[in-house]
Amino acid sequence: MVRAVTSKDSYNDCRISVENLEVIVNRSRIILINKYTVGRGLHLILGPNGAGKTTFLKILSGIMPPGSGSVSVCGDKPRQVRDMIGYLPALPEVDPLATVENVIEAGLYDSSIEDESEAINEAIRLVGISQLVGRRFNTLSSGEQRLVCIARVLARRPRILLLDELFNFLDISNKERIFRIVREYTVRNNAITLVTTHEIYYAGLFDTVTVLRKGDIIFHGRPENLGEKILHSAYGIGIISLRVKGKTLFLPRHLVE
Amino acid sequence: MKNNFFLLAILPLIVLGLFLLGLSYGTTGIIGLREILDWVKGSDNGVLSYRFIRTLAALVVGAALGSAGLTYQFSLRNPLADPYLLGVSTGSAFGVVLALITSGPSPGTVYLYGLIWGIVAFLIVAGIGAYVKSGPTSLIVAGVSISYSFFGLIIIMINMFPEAQMISFTWLFGTVAYALKTYLAVTATLTIVSISYMFLYRRSIYALILGDSTAKSMGVDVEKVRLYTIIFASLSAVGAVALAGPIGFIGLAAPWTARLIFGSRFSTVLYASIMLGMASTVASDLIVRALSFNGEIPLTAVTALFGGPLLFYLSRRTGW
Residues of A in contact with B212 (CB under 8 A): 93
Rg of the Cα atoms in chain A: 18
What residues in A contact B206, CB-CB < 8 Å?
Answer: 102, 105-106, 109
| pLDDT at res. B50 | 94
pLDDT given at position B5: 87
Residue of B nearest to A139 (CA): B319
A138 and B319: CB-CB below 8 Å?
Answer: yes
pLDDT at B133: 67
Q: How far is A243 from chain B (nearest CA, A)?
A: 39
Residue of B nearest to A156 (CA): B218
Q: How confident is the model at residue A4 (pLDDT cuts 50, 70, 90)?
A: low
A200-215 mean pLDDT? 95
Residue A137: closest C-alpha in chain B: B318
CA distance B306 to B121: 29
A153: closest chain B residue by CA: B214
- What pLDDT sits at residue A15? 94
- Give the torsion sign (CA, B253, B114, B90, B117): positive
This prediction's pTM: 0.92
Closest alpha carbon within chain A to B76 = A95
Flag whether the ipTM exceeds 0.90.
Answer: yes
Record: contact A109-B207, CB cut-off 8 A: yes
Judging contacts by C-beta atoms under 8 Å, the chain B residues touching residue A92 are 211
Which of A94, A102, A103, A137 best probes binding to B when mutated, by most B CB atoms within 10 angstroms? A102
CA-based nearest residue to B52, from B7, B30, B19: B19
Contact residues on chain A for B81, CB-CB shorter than 8 A: none
A96 CA: distance to closest CA in chain B (Å): 8
Q: What are chain B's domains?
A: 5-318 (1.10.3470.10)
A142-165 pLDDT, tens digit per residue, is 999 999 999 999 999 999 999 999
At residue A1, the pLDDT reads 44
Chain B: give the shortest CA distance to residue A148, in Å.
Answer: 11
Q: Could B264 and A99 be called an inter-chain contact, meaning their C-beta atoms sit closer than 8 Å?
A: yes
Contacts of B264 in chain A (CB under 8 A): 95, 97-99, 102
Task: Summarize pLDDT for A163-177 with one digit per residue, the tens.
Answer: 999 999 999 999 999
pLDDT in tens, A34-90: 999 999 999 999 999 999 999 999 999 999 998 899 999 999 999 999 999 999 999
Domain spanning A16-95+158-255: CATH 3.40.50.2300:
no
What residue spans define the domains of chain A? 16-95+158-255
Option in A89, A101, A138 nearest B214 (CB): A89
Is the Cβ of B183 closer than 8 Å to some Cβ of chain A?
no
Nearest to A95 among B79, B213, B216 (CB): B79
A10, pLDDT greater than 60: no
| A92-139: pLDDT as tens digits | 999 999 999 999 999 999 998 999 999 999 999 999 999 999 999 999
**Can you give the pLDDT at residue A38?**
96
Top-confidence residue, A24 or A3:
A24
At A11 the pLDDT is: 55
Report the C-alpha dihedral over residues B228, B234, B239, B241, rounded to 10 degrees.
180
Chain B residues inside the 8 Å CB shell of A152: 210, 214
Question: What is the C-alpha to C-alpha distance for residues B49 and B7, in angstroms, rounded to an integer?
Answer: 31
Distance CA A40, CA A24 (A): 29
Q: How far apart are alpha carbons B78 and B96 in whole angstroms?
A: 29
Task: Name the residue among B207, B214, B318 with its Cβ closest to that of A97.
Answer: B318
pLDDT at B1: 46
* Ranges in chain B, pLDDT < 50: 1-2
- Window 222-241 of B: residues touching A by CB (8 A cutoff) are none
Residues of chain B positioned with their CB less than 8 A from the CB of A89? 211, 213-214
pLDDT tens digit sequence for B182-197: 999 999 999 999 999 9
Instruction: Establish if B202 touches chain A: CB-CB under 8 angstroms.
Output: no
